[in-house]
Amino acid sequence: MEHHGISPIGIGNEGRQVFWNAHSFEPFLFLFTAIAMAIFAYGVYKRWKLWKAMGKDEIRVDELPARIKSLIMNGFFQVKTWKDIYPGIMHGCIFFGFFVLIFGAAFDAGEFHITEPLFSWAFLRGSFYLGFSFLMDLFGLVVLIGVLMAAYRRYIQKPDRLTYKGTPDTTPEDGIVLLLIGGIIVTGFIIEALRIHATLDPVTGYATWEGWSFVGWTLANLISGMDIEAAKTWHSISWWTHTFIALGFIAYIPYSRLMHIITTPANHFFATLKPAGYVEPIRDIENQESFGVSKLEEFTWKQIFDSDACTKCGRCQDGCPAYLTGKHLSPKKLIQDIKTFWLEQAPLAATKAVVPVAEGAEAPAPAEAVEGEAPEKALIGDVVDLNSVWDCTNCMYCMENCSSSIEHIQKIIDMRRYKVLTEADFAPELQLTYRNMENNSNPWGIGAHMRGDWAKELGIKTLAEDPNVEYLFYVGCSGSFDDRGKKISVAFAKILQAAGVSFGILGGEESCCGDSAMRGGNDYLFQSQAQANIEIMNGYGVKKIIAICPHGYNCIKKDYPNFGGNYEVYHHTEIIADLIAKGKIKFTQKLNGTYTYHDSCFLGRYNQVYEQPRSILNAISGVNVVEMERNFSKSFCCGAGGARMWMEEHGDRINNARTDQAAATNAGTVAVGCPFCLTMFSDGIKDRQLTEKMVALDIAEIVLKAMGMEEVKEPVDVCAT
């Protein structure tokens, strides 16, 4: 079998030796390739200088095995990208198709330019050639399908995630990228078709084995009437066109959004290895001269690099509760605004870095004084909208669903820290909350001595009375002071008592966990609350802690270790599910009705507690569990996280939007595992005038009823009616 070339893509031989003296053109080909690679290398070098120009040091090269795993799983296998089916398939077609074709081009070029002329070894022969030819056509077609899917999505479908409040994010660059990729594929197939046609046997026609190049074969049949000499001429023209498009694509990468080919895999490698939602505290806070971030250079280099890895895919925005209820915040826009500002500021910073000021010489003029430079902008206010900083509920939808491993929340908290601790500029209602926490260690300002009053009639001992217990039940502020939250505490305590669990509480010695202070930017207040709790807990030798509030649960579990508080921390739904599995909880009451479970952000996305609450409900006789449209990792926030529980909300309320989603299931009961969520749903049910059709209950309250320890008031089952 005569070898006529294979690859429909890249710079392969493609039968060049059949039509023209290809080797005589090799110097030109090598020259053009060298130029393209030089342009590419220079672009990457310039970008490298910008990456190094700004940002504080941060170690992101530790724990190499874990980082390499992240790079392989998310950078190569695209695990995060596949979470959304259509864009996952679209991107997968382009990425994996190109990956295979690049290797195909390397094989083809390697034989033509190296092994055959130098060693007289041609390996693209026989069955190997046929299979390889088929794969090249197949993956070339796969890439083309991906390009068409991308064009349809961007220019016809136009999903909201590719806009900002209805304004399309699409730029001419997006079209150029798709045209380049599509052009490489199409011209590759045209070359193949012309080669097949030009080598036509005048007697027997096309060789049957050419059918393995099925796309080229099909196209060749479409041009079967073309003059052979014309086909040879057009083959040469098409080959050079294909070559220049491919080389242009390579050269264009560092100057376009194609740079994400480099930055996104790198960002997966540099991704945080801390627990999900972990917030880096202000270290040595007493000796800090400034707090938080108010300037671009006060971010770490990784926080800035995040913005260059962003592909504007909009997945973060697609489920952001603030954005979807008409607030200012769009996680995508926030990151892109930082990137735009970085691209404005970094060149000047890079210039200053490489041109030191000689002793006694005048310092360079500030940016606003340099001709042609934009006036200096404030990071918070001019670049990032101040409302966006405070709109965030810390729900972590953006980080959980980002296909580039971008870390949004730490940036927002850092900017909040500056406004709160440095400028003392924050919402009046938050000022009251912080003052109450400072004075009485709870957001309501109720006397701290009343923390344990809810437990007086239950015979629950404090650790001061009996420290020899297995678990500390950390009740939290809502479970101690809020009337609705206290019902959860009572229900859970009764369950523990019935199951024979050894536990105690801190009572008046307990302090606020500090989560709302930390996520609201008041790290100083958070650390004082955390250290007070840790001192008490360590003093009693606490090892295991149960919390009914996911915010306290997450905070004690992930943030307290920074200050010497290392404990085994459990959420009450985890404990209840375990007690049911061990047979220590017996259900005697059938609960008839349809229930829907709401995934709390700080329980679900932050701690992957999804199955335990559902397993509890499914274990109760008569309970029919239905899912809301947004559930599990894509659950919709109730609106209370990130200190938003204590702040006024303007416009459409997030909790009402979530209540609407619950109501759409026709469930009579919304089951939750968080006091904040319970409050937000209770308010939403009232606002939507659904009190006759729906009720919100904590998992512990539902379990207590099923145990026959509380009067059962059947909720309205809308499905049954």
470 and 540 inside one domain: yes
Residue 16 has pLDDT above 50, yes or no: no
Distance CA 486, CA 502 (A): 20
Question: What is the CATH number for 144?
Answer: 1.20.950.20
Distance CA 712, CA 622 (A): 13
Residue 12 has pLDDT above 50, yes or no: no
Position 327, amino acid = K
Confidence of residue 237 (pLDDT cuts 50, 70, 90): very high
DSSP, collapsed to helix, strand or coil, labels residue 404 as coil
333 and 451 inside one domain: no
Q: Give the start-end residues of each E strand in 99-191.
A: 163-164, 167-168
Distance CA 502, CA 216 (A): 74
Compute the radius of gyration of the chain from its Cα atoms: 31
560 and 634 inside one domain: no
Cα 255–Cα 260–Cα 263 angle in degrees, nearest 5: 105
Distance CA 47, CA 382 (A): 25
User: Once rounded to an integer, what is the mean pLDDT over residues 482-496?
Assistant: 97
142 and 209 inside one domain: yes
User: Once rounded to an integer, what is the mean pLDDT over residues 695-714?
Assistant: 86
Q: Does 603 reside within a domain?
A: yes
Q: What share of the chain is helix, strand, coil (3-state, %, to 5)?
A: 60, 5, 35
Q: Does 3 reside within a domain?
A: no
Confidence of residue 712 (pLDDT cuts 50, 70, 90): very low
Full DSSP string of 416-453: HHIIIIIS----HHHHHHHHHHHHHSSTT---GGGTTG
680 and 700 inside one domain: yes
Could you tell me which residues come within 8 angstroms of residue 570 by beta carbon, excluding any fewer than 6 positions away?
471, 544, 545, 546, 547, 553
Full DSSP string of 592-606: -EEEEE---TTTTTT
Q: Which letter does DSSP use for residue 281 in this model?
A: -
User: Once rounded to an integer, what is the mean pLDDT over residues 650-660?
Assistant: 97
172 and 111 inside one domain: yes
Q: Does 358 reside within a domain?
A: no
Domain boundary (579, 608, 633) is at: 579
Q: Which letter does DSSP use for residue 166 in this model?
A: T
Q: Which letter does DSSP use for residue 462 in this model?
A: B
Question: What is the CATH number for 561?
Answer: 3.40.50.1860
Distance CA 4, CA 210 (A): 10
Number of structural domains in the chain: 4
DSSP, collapsed to helix, strand or coil, labels residue 115 as helix
Distance CA 654, CA 404 (A): 26
Distance CA 478, CA 468 (A): 26
pLDDT of residue 34: 96
Mean pLDDT (the chain) is: 91
Confidence of residue 73 (pLDDT cuts 50, 70, 90): very high
Tokens describing residue 106? 């390397």
Distance CA 330, CA 101 (A): 37
Tokens 């970094």 label which residue? 346
119 and 263 inside one domain: yes
Q: Does 410 reside within a domain?
A: yes
Tokens describing residue 70? 């992240």
More confident residue, 718 or 558: 558
Q: Which letter does DSSP use for residue 669 in this model?
A: E
Q: Does 135 reside within a domain?
A: yes
Residue 364 has pLDDT above 70, yes or no: no
Cβ(543)–Cβ(579) below 8 Å: no
pLDDT per residue over 184-217, tens digit each?
A: 999 999 999 999 998 888 778 788 888 999 999 9
Domain hosting 305: range is: 296-349+374-422
Question: What is the CATH number for 338?
Answer: 1.10.1060.10
pLDDT of residue 352: 75
Residue 717 has pLDDT above 70, yes or no: no
pLDDT of residue 114: 87
Domain boundary (579, 614, 639) is at: 579
Comparing CA positions, the residue from 558, 576, 580 lying closest to residue 567 is 558
Q: Does 7 reside within a domain?
A: no
pLDDT of residue 234: 94
Q: Does 61 reside within a domain?
A: yes
pLDDT of residue 353: 64
User: Once rounded to an integer, what is the mean pLDDT over residues 647-667?
Assistant: 97
Q: Give the start-end residues of each E strand in 443-601.
A: 471-474, 503-504, 544-547, 568-571, 593-597
Cβ(316)–Cβ(408) below 8 Å: yes
Tokens describing residue 239? 């080959």
Tokens 């220079």 label which residue? 42
Q: Does 20 reside within a domain?
A: yes
Residue 181 has pLDDT above 90, yes or no: yes
Tokens describing residue 641? 């996280």
Tokens describing residue 376? 């200096």
The terminus-to-terminus CA distance of the chain in angstroms comes to 75
pLDDT of residue 359: 53
Domain boundary (389, 422, 455) is at: 422
93 and 105 inside one domain: yes
Tokens describing residue 671? 């089951």
Confidence of residue 1 (pLDDT cuts 50, 70, 90): very low
pLDDT per residue over 142-174, tens digit each?
A: 999 999 999 999 999 999 999 988 888 899 999
Beta bridge partners of 626: 596
pLDDT of residue 619: 98
pLDDT of residue 110: 86
CA distances (Å), 195 to each of 234, 239, 242, 578, in order? 10, 10, 14, 68
- Torsional sign, CA 149, 155, 159, 161: positive
Q: Can you list the pairs that 31-39 forms with residues at least 24 positions away whose Cβ atoms lie under 8 Å?
A: 32/243, 32/244, 32/247, 33/247, 35/247, 35/251, 36/247, 36/248, 36/250, 36/251, 37/250, 37/251, 39/251
482 and 449 inside one domain: yes
pLDDT per residue over 320-342, tens digit each?
A: 999 999 999 999 999 999 999 99
191 and 333 inside one domain: no
Question: What is the CATH number for 589?
Answer: 3.40.50
| Percentage of the chain modeled with pLDDT above 90 | 83
395 and 457 inside one domain: no
User: Once rounded to an integer, what is the mean pLDDT over residues 115-131?
Assistant: 88
Confidence of residue 289 (pLDDT cuts 50, 70, 90): confident
Distance CA 268, CA 271 (A): 5
pLDDT per residue over 372-404, tens digit each?
A: 455 589 999 999 999 999 999 999 999 999 999
What's the whole-model pTM score?
A: 0.91
Distance CA 667, CA 718 (A): 6
Distance CA 192, CA 190 (A): 5
527 and 607 inside one domain: no
Cα 611–Cα 613–Cα 617 angle in degrees, nearest 5: 110
